[in-house]
Structure 1
C-alpha cells in the first residue's frame, strides 16, 4: 500500500482553555494502543462521523506524535463503530 505524504489524524476535543487538540488514541481488543490515521478527509468523515475533530500532518511526523502520545501501532482507514464515534462538541 502506498501511504500519502500527509494523513488526517482524528483528535479528541480540546480539554484545555488553549484549545489545543490531542490525538485520539484508541484501545484495541488485545490491549494495545492504536493511532488511527486516514489517507483522505472523506475517508475520515465516512469512517469516524461528521463530528470528529482532526488535524492533517505529514506522514513523516507520526513518529514525533509517538514521542508525546505513545502508541503501539498505526491503523489505516478503519471504520469506527457508531457507538464509539465522537458526538458534536458541547
Structure 2
C-alpha cells in the first residue's frame, strides 16, 4: 500500500492518512547502537520519486526485507520529522522487496 504525500509548504507539517498505524517499523541503512545515528533507508521508485518504506509489524519487515535488515520503530508522528530532514515523495507500507534488491548490511 502506498500513500502519495500531499505537497507541503515550508513550515507546514506533513499530513498522514487517517488509517496509518500508531507505530511503524522503518528500514535503516545500518545497525547502530545509538538511535540518533540511525539513517532511514530511502528507496527510489521506477519513476524517480523517493519513497520511505514503513512496516506495520516487525514480522512483516523481516518477511518483506529480510532478517538482516536494520530497522527502528517509531511513532507515526515522528515520520514528519524524518520528512523534514530526509524529504521523500511517497510513504510505502508493507512492501515486499525482491530478493535481488534487498540491502546486504553487515553489523
TM score, norm. by length of structure 1 = 0.88
Find runs of 4+ consecutive structure 1 residues off by over 4 angstroms: none
Indicate the SS of the match to 1:12.
coil
Q: What displacement does 1:88 show?
A: 4.3
Q: Give 1:33's aligned residue.
A: 50
CA RMSD between the two structures: 1.9
- Contact kept, 8 Å, 1:7 with 1:57, in 2: the verdict is yes
**1:2–1:21 Cα change, 3 Å:** same
Q: What displacement does 1:3 show?
A: 2.1
Q: Give 1:74's aligned residue.
A: 91
Query: Residue 42 in 1 paired to residue 59 in 2?
Result: yes
Q: Distance in 1 between matches of 2:87 and 2:72?
A: 17
Q: Distance in 2 between matches of 1:20 and 1:85?
A: 21
Q: Show structure 2 runs of 5+ residues with no match.
A: 1-17
Q: Show structure 1 runs of 5+ residues with no match.
A: none
Give the number of equivalent residue pairs.
87
Structure with max Cα Rg = 2
Query: Residue 8 in 1 paired to residue 22 in 2?
Result: no
More strand per residue: 1 or 2? 1
- Contact kept, 8 Å, 1:47 with 1:79, in 2: the verdict is yes
